[in-house]
Each structure stands twice: as C-alpha cells, then as structure tokens.
Amino acid sequence: MIRGDKISDYLKKRGIKGPWKIHSTPDKKFDYILIVPAISESKNIPNLLLSISNQVSVDLENIMVIIVINNGENPDVDIYQDNCNLRLYLDKETFPFHLAYVDAFTPGYQLSDKLIGVGMARKIGTDLSLSIVSKNGLLFHTDGDCYLSPNYFSNIIEDYHQYKWAASVVGFKHQKSNIPRIEKAIRNYENILITTADKMRQAGSIYGYPAIGSAMICTPIAYVSVSGMPKRKATEDFYFLQEIAKYRGVSWNREMLVHPSPRAEQRVHLGTGFRMSQVVNGFEIRSLEYSEIAFRILRNWIQVATEYFQSDIDDLMIGCNKIHEEFPEFIQSLQIETVWDGINKSAPTSDHFALQFQRWFDGLKSIHLLRHFSDNY
C-alpha cells in the first residue's frame, strides 16, 4: 500500500469522527506540523509561541502550529473562560509561522466525559493534520506549558534526515521552580526517567527511552501504522510510543530541546504534574526508583528468552529459575504458557523471534517486572 493510500485508509477506518476542524485552514501543505493540546493554558501558550518564533536555521513559513483548545461538556467556569481568552488571543495575534487552532471546547464541540483528556486532544489535532502534512513531513508533539529551545526544529530535522527514524523523543529539562522542594523533586524525577530509560536500553529492551508526550515526534506513516494516538485521559504518550517501538523502534535524541513546566497539578492521576502535587503532600519522589536487582533480572530475562528460541516452555522455565528463584512464578502470572509456542512458530529466524518476543514482553510488562522485583526484593 502506498503512502497516500495508507493515510486515507487510516482516516476512513480509524480517523477522528466529529465536528472538529482546523480554523484558518491553510491552502498549502507543510513539512512540519506541531500539535499542542491546551486546556486553561492562556498564560502559557504565548511563551510557547514566542519560542517557536525564535527558532533558528529553519524556514518558519514551512511550520504549522495547531492548538487544540479543549474541555469537557460541563467545564469549570474558570477553565472555560480561560479557553475563551486563549481563542481571542490566537485570533488577534500574528506570527512568522502558520498558526491555527481547533475548537474542542465550546458547546457542540466539547469533548464528552468519556473522551476528555490529553490523548483525545492530541488525536484530534494529529488526525486533522494528516491532510495538510507534506509527503515527507514530520508531526511534532508538545504541551501548552512548555517552551522550545531555539534549535528545536533544526536539530530534530537534521537528526531525522541522518537516522531516518519512524519516531523520536528528544531531551527535556523542566523549567526552574520557585519552590525549593518542587525544584529538588523535579530534578530527581528527571533523573529517574532518564536513568530508567538508560538502564532498560542497557538491559536490551526496545523500550529504553523516556515516554514524554511533550517531547515526541513521528512520521505520518508511523502514526497511522500504529492506529494513531490512543484516546486516553493520561499515559497516551507511553502507549503510543510503545506501539511505535513494536512497529519500527523509537529513537532517543538527547539534545535538551523541550522545557516543560514543573507545576504541580492533579488533572490526571499520572504524569509530572501529578507527581509534583504528590510531593507537595509529602510524597518521596525517590520511591519511584527501581532497584539494581530488578534491572539485572530484566536483562537476564531478555537474554534467556532470546537464547531459548525454538525451545519448549518446560525448558524455558528451567532457564527462568536460574534468573531468580521467584521468577518462574512471576512470568507465569503473565500467562507466558499461552503465547510461547505461538511466538516461536511465527518467527522464521532468531532475530525475528527476538523482536516478536519483545512485542509481547512490552514496555508495560517491563515496568511491571521492575516494580515487582524492586518492591519485593
């Protein structure tokens, strides 16, 4: 299936269905489109847009920014008013790049309680962008409370042309907090995210990258090949990148290009804002760290599973017992007996088997392993 057909097929079968549209629809295609979900972000979006205006070594006229202004069907009055203020700002301001927005916040366009969340907002913006992104373009994702380094676009574009990845995450450093406790916690949290990704990669996992929604980029073909953005209220970035890792892998560009807010908020029950709100209430951020024994078990498990290509489940269990005395029980709890033969039969070579195995033992299962053996051993 050629590129155009694949995107058309996705839009027909899985594309967003609803009243949403891009306001100020352009009459041309763009190579680079940045999608930004925004809910009550009128004070932050100007800083983001200013950082885009200050980009270097890139043709700003070839960049389109889509702000997806969203809220639920019965929004808090302050949130709704803030979204109205943001729309007024976007309508009156001009920038050296093409700026557009999607109304997903006024009556008739609001997100249902079932779908309200950053995942749905990202999906709306990205699905709508597919008809205006150029043949070899890129889809960028960030958040309304971020600002971008001046070389954000030029660095990513150069990295893409050099490595031809399907998706990438870039380096991030949160803005400085004026609250000492939050400032310390956010640096520890950053270190945990990066260290965890590094150690997972060193263990041989294909999921060794920080899953940060404000720092991810993908090609249009990669986006539609994994059925688009999940409609999740939170962790949409984790699940989206996990699917692309299974599809073609996720690159990790460590250049510090994205600067998220360190603010504490409880819009969702995961993510940086939620963790910082926990810190305010006494949570110890270092408790999120995984133990060295857990990473060692992950590394040994990936190695053992790969070595047992074309072996039966009984032989595999013998190998599992050498990893850790409790490991056979753990891996059986994931019902490996029901998939092991199928993974073997579907793999003509050991390399193909190794990939098929990690498609099953995915990022979520890997985190489950790390948490289990960190908490219990």
Scanning the structure block, which residue is given the tokens 């889509």? 66
Distances in Å between the alpha carbon of 46 and those of 70, 89, 94, 147? 17, 9, 11, 9
Q: Which two tokens stand for residue 53?
A: 């205006």
Label residue 269 by pLDDT band (50, 70, 90): very low
Give pLDDT, residue 283. Answer: 67
CB atoms within 10 A of CB 187: 16
pLDDT digits (tens, 9 = 90+) for 307-356: 999 999 999 999 999 999 999 999 999 999 999 999 999 999 999 999 99
Given a cut of 50, whether residue 1 has pLDDT beyond it is no
Question: Do 308 and 316 meet the contact criterion of CB atoms below 8 Å apart?
Answer: yes
- Residue 76 CA, chain-centre distance (Å), reads 27
pTM comes to: 0.94
Mean pLDDT, range 13-38, rounded to an integer: 95
Mean pLDDT, range 222-236, rounded to an integer: 94
Instruction: Identify each DSSP E strand in 220-310 by its residue range.
Output: 251-259
Given a cut of 90, whether residue 277 has pLDDT beyond it is no
pLDDT digits (tens, 9 = 90+) for 19-31: 999 998 888 999 9
Label residue 276 by pLDDT band (50, 70, 90): low
Scanning the structure block, which residue is given the tokens 């099953």? 360
Domains and CATH numbers, the chain: 3-288 (3.90.550.10), 292-376 (no CATH)
